[in-house]
Structure 1
Amino acid sequence: MSVLKLIRGARVYAPQDLGVQDVLLGDQRVLAIAPEINLSAEWVEHVQAEGMLLLPGLVDSLVHIGGGGGEGGFHTRTPQMTLTDATLGGVTTVIGALGTDAVTRTLPDLLAKAHALEAEGITAYCYTGSYQIPVRTLMGNVTDDITLIDKFIGVGEVAIADHRSSQPNAAELARIAADARVAGMLAGKAGIVSIHVGDHPDKLDLLHQVVAESAIPATQYYPTHMNRNSELMQAGLAWAKLGGYLDVTTSTNAQFIAEGEIPAAQALAYYLQQGVPVSQLTMSSDGNASLPVFDPNGQLVGLEVGRVTSLYEAFCEAVQQHDVSIVDALHSVTLSPATILKLPHKGRIAVGADADLVLVEASNLRISKVFAKGREMVSDGQPIVKGTFAT
């Protein structure tokens, strides 16, 4: 049985372009990167990768891993994410969250699902809380949850500018951020506040108010769905000037686009063109969220489900259709979210980092192999490791 894997001759994007390198994997980590590594033994598995690109595993900062939706009745609750929903799209790290429904979807279930995904082979973290304020927690408060529960790295997604939110005020949001910030300091975590931004004209006004009126910096907040419409995207530029982060959502449908949503790849390209540093920009899938479809009279006629694989598709679209460099597009789905979330072992190819890797064809970016913590999960674009109950 091989103990080490040696990936030979791939062009490595870490996400910075390292050129053609050999990469040695062992003990779930990257052990060495060099132009030539010569190891020949029965316990070394060689992966020939000449003419291919080696990328970090993607970090998806918002996935409803336990399912979401429910706004159209109990039958509209979406299914849980499966292992291959992530791995077939090169995603090796997910951050799970509750959404509108924190009644039939619970934090214990979310936490259990994260541990299940970890047991199946990828890395999973969670946010405590949900859309609502007061924040639902496991241990009675945000600080204890983030400090004492390893999987919890922040709180959210707290909803603003949305009819489904608790209509929070600046003092309430500042208190949540302060509690999360202190917890992050104590536990060495991000303590980030994931912010669901709806389509109300208030847009980011509440975030600007809370930053102006408190000692909590803009970087404590992580607003998502920033490509919901062009007005919100414009508001994002002012937020970015404060040093704030911007996350755009890759799961969508034709109706959302027709109503003004900007595709994530296009939104990423726009923000980069406007001079927003890629370190402040991320894409996330909002996987397993519900995507409602309405008829002309506003009646719900169908539901689609957000796809984690849309994250890799948006990366490809940014490169192939919007002239975003591979380095920048990759940064937005690997190193940027990993850095924002204080996951130093994720989102990069470096000695000591987790061996989360995606091997793709250089000509069309088609995924060939996916490794999660050194374990091969996908080969020739097909899953070779499946979830516990997959057929």
Structure 2
Amino acid sequence: MLTLIRGAELHGPAPLGQGDILIGGGRILAMAPRLSPGDLGCPLREVDGHGLLAVPGLVDSLVHTSGGGGEGGFASRMRPLEAEQALRAGVTSLIGALGTDDSTRSHADLLACGRALAAHGLSAYALTGSYHVPVRTITGSIRDDLVLIPDIIGVGEIAIADHRGAQPSAHELARIAAASRVGGMLAGKSGTVLIHVGDGRDGLELLRRACAEHEVRPAQFLPTHCNRSRRLFDEARDWIARGGTIDLTSSTTPAMLAAGEVPAAEALLELLADPACADRVTLSSDGQASLPHFDEAGRLLGIETARVDSLLATLRAARQQGAALEPVLAAATRTPARIWGLARKGRIAVGADADLLLLEPESLALRMAVAGGQCWRIEAGAARALD
């Protein structure tokens, strides 16, 4: 069945005016101010988009699709992400990763959880590795994982400046980046290395050394959680100036904010005010991760679950604080799609994947999600397949 969305205000994420979008076979087939495909002889479902914004589906650079956590023992392990959670949050493409736990969590389970999400039209990719070094893989090498496993598009999250990490050296990070780059080149993938940056005093120093001492480009790394403190955020701005890109985390807790975290919407607005940063910052939810709170002695005080819907909430908050729609959307659509080498994601254009959202213009409330061409109406806190 073809789907025709009529009369929405199109943002791809740049404004494209009012128009119709024809969807079929999981792709955007046509766009025009007025389409008349009724003479094709195919079943056609029409969706009224008048008064709504049509924007690209969100591309979430970090989701613990198989569940994160475990820092408080087995009972603290987080649940896997459910498809409805992503659909209600407007996330249609997501990159799944392991974190602290690569003992009871596996890459096989990560891939299985991603493929279960794909049954609902979602595009679920995966990263090889985890917090720890040497990197755990499926085939025995980073390069082979990238070349031989279609779902795997990069490496991560490798932890630095964190007491839960393996305390890697700059040389080890450079070797990981080199293996990921070669594997990515051979497979036609980005080979991006996602770096978890903790609260440690070293901050981004290891990344700076890896690039200064070895033939590794800053753009090969994507450090995340760069708004967890003002000090780290300032370092991240310098990293952008060196040619790198950074990721802000939308999930948070009152304890993290009280400890000095820069709210993601605030951090995004600061960066978007500098034209040099506009296309070098992404937002991710860290969905289904654990958000532990430790005291100064490293004792666990509490733990919460990161929410995938925090991504859309951050976009709303940035808009409410006066940000223009296009650059805010780009940070969760076009820019992460480019960094992860997902050419048909993060934009509304003929030939692109049929991943898009229908939003209320002022509130950015989600009314419909289209994932892989499958249409889901969002109402009463639930995602319901469109008949």
TM-score (norm 1): 0.95
Report the secondary structure of 1:173's partner residue. Answer: helix
Residue in structure 2 matched with residue 11 of structure 1 by the alignment? 9
Q: CA deviation at 1:206?
A: 0.7
Q: CA deviation at 1:290?
A: 0.9
Report the secondary structure of 1:193's partner residue. Answer: strand
User: Structure 1: which amino acid aligns with 2:24?
Assistant: G
Stretches of 4+ aligned residues off by more than 6 angstroms: 294-298
Residue in structure 2 matched with residue 343 of structure 1 by the alignment? 342
Aligned ranges 1:348-367 → 2 under 5 Å: 348-367=347-366
Report the secondary structure of 2:38's partner residue. Answer: coil
User: Structure 1: which amino acid aligns with 2:90?
Assistant: G
Residue in structure 2 matched with residue 154 of structure 1 by the alignment? 154
Q: CA deviation at 1:299?
A: 5.8
Report the secondary structure of 1:120's partner residue. Answer: coil
Q: CA deviation at 1:308?
A: 0.5
User: Structure 1: which amino acid aligns with 2:3?
Assistant: K
Shift in CA distance, 297/164, structure 1 to aligned 2, threshold 3 Å: closer
Q: 1:38 aligns with which of 31, 36, 39?
A: 36
Shift in CA distance, 216/299, structure 1 to aligned 2, threshold 3 Å: closer
The unaligned stretches of length 5 or more in structure 2 are none
The CA distance in 1 between the partners of 2:344 and 2:90, in whole Å, is 17
Shift in CA distance, 290/185, structure 1 to aligned 2, threshold 3 Å: same
State the number of aligned residues.
383
Is the contact made by 2:120 and 2:371 (CA closer than 8 Å) also made in structure 1?
no
Is the contact made by 1:162 and 1:200 (CA closer than 8 Å) also made in structure 2?
yes
Residue in structure 2 matched with residue 105 of structure 1 by the alignment? 105
Report the secondary structure of 1:121's partner residue. Answer: coil
Report the secondary structure of 1:200's partner residue. Answer: coil
User: Structure 2: which amino acid aligns with 1:337?
Assistant: P
User: Structure 1: which amino acid aligns with 2:179?
Assistant: D
Is the contact made by 2:357 and 2:366 (CA closer than 8 Å) also made in structure 1?
yes
Residue in structure 2 matched with residue 123 of structure 1 by the alignment? 123
Residue in structure 2 matched with residue 257 of structure 1 by the alignment? 257
Residue in structure 2 matched with residue 49 of structure 1 by the alignment? 49
**Worse overlay, 283-292 or 34-43:** 34-43
Q: CA deviation at 1:275?
A: 3.8
Is the contact made by 1:88 and 1:378 (CA closer than 8 Å) also made in structure 2?
no
The CA distance in 2 between the partners of 1:292 and 1:342, in whole Å, is 31
Report the secondary structure of 1:138's partner residue. Answer: coil
Aligned ranges 1:207-356 → 2 under 5 Å: 207-293=207-293, 300=300, 302-321=302-321, 323-356=322-355
Deviation readout 1:233-281 (Å, 9 max, x if unpaired): 0001110011101100001011100110111111111112244432211
Shift in CA distance, 366/201, structure 1 to aligned 2, threshold 3 Å: same
Deviation readout 1:268-310 (Å, 9 max, x if unpaired): 1111224443221100000001123568998645422001111
RMSD over aligned Cα atoms: 1.7
Is the contact made by 1:146 and 1:191 (CA closer than 8 Å) also made in structure 2?
yes
Is the contact made by 1:142 and 1:180 (CA closer than 8 Å) also made in structure 2?
yes
The CA distance in 1 between the partners of 2:144 and 2:16, in whole Å, is 41
Is the contact made by 1:190 and 1:342 (CA closer than 8 Å) also made in structure 2?
yes
The CA distance in 2 between the partners of 1:116 and 1:107, in whole Å, is 14
Report the secondary structure of 1:112's partner residue. Answer: helix
Identity %: 48
Report the secondary structure of 2:119's partner residue. Answer: helix
TM-score (norm 2): 0.96
User: Structure 1: which amino acid aligns with 2:354?
Assistant: A
Q: CA deviation at 1:385?
A: 4.3
Is the contact made by 2:292 and 2:302 (CA closer than 8 Å) also made in structure 1?
yes
Shift in CA distance, 295/212, structure 1 to aligned 2, threshold 3 Å: closer
The CA distance in 2 between the partners of 1:295 and 1:166, in whole Å, is 20
The CA distance in 1 between the partners of 2:234 and 2:111, in whole Å, is 36
The CA distance in 1 between the partners of 2:29 and 2:37, in whole Å, is 13
Is the contact made by 1:147 and 1:187 (CA closer than 8 Å) also made in structure 2?
yes
The CA distance in 1 between the partners of 2:99 and 2:109, in whole Å, is 13
Shift in CA distance, 119/59, structure 1 to aligned 2, threshold 3 Å: same
Report the secondary structure of 2:31's partner residue. Answer: strand
Q: CA deviation at 1:212?
A: 0.7
Is the contact made by 2:88 and 2:378 (CA closer than 8 Å) also made in structure 1?
no
Is the contact made by 1:246 and 1:281 (CA closer than 8 Å) also made in structure 2?
yes
The CA distance in 2 between the partners of 1:385 and 1:146, in whole Å, is 34
The CA distance in 1 between the partners of 2:294 and 2:279, in whole Å, is 36
Residue in structure 2 matched with residue 389 of structure 1 by the alignment? none
Is the contact made by 1:237 and 1:276 (CA closer than 8 Å) also made in structure 2?
no
Residue in structure 2 matched with residue 375 of structure 1 by the alignment? 374
The CA distance in 2 between the partners of 1:128 and 1:296, in whole Å, is 32
The CA distance in 1 between the partners of 2:361 and 2:72, in whole Å, is 43
User: Structure 2: which amino acid aligns with 1:141?
Assistant: S
User: Structure 1: which amino acid aligns with 2:361?
Assistant: A
Is the contact made by 2:68 and 2:77 (CA closer than 8 Å) also made in structure 1?
yes
Shift in CA distance, 298/131, structure 1 to aligned 2, threshold 3 Å: closer
Report the secondary structure of 1:279's partner residue. Answer: coil
User: Structure 2: which amino acid aligns with 1:17?
Assistant: P
Shift in CA distance, 297/211, structure 1 to aligned 2, threshold 3 Å: closer
The CA distance in 1 between the partners of 2:289 and 2:7, in whole Å, is 39
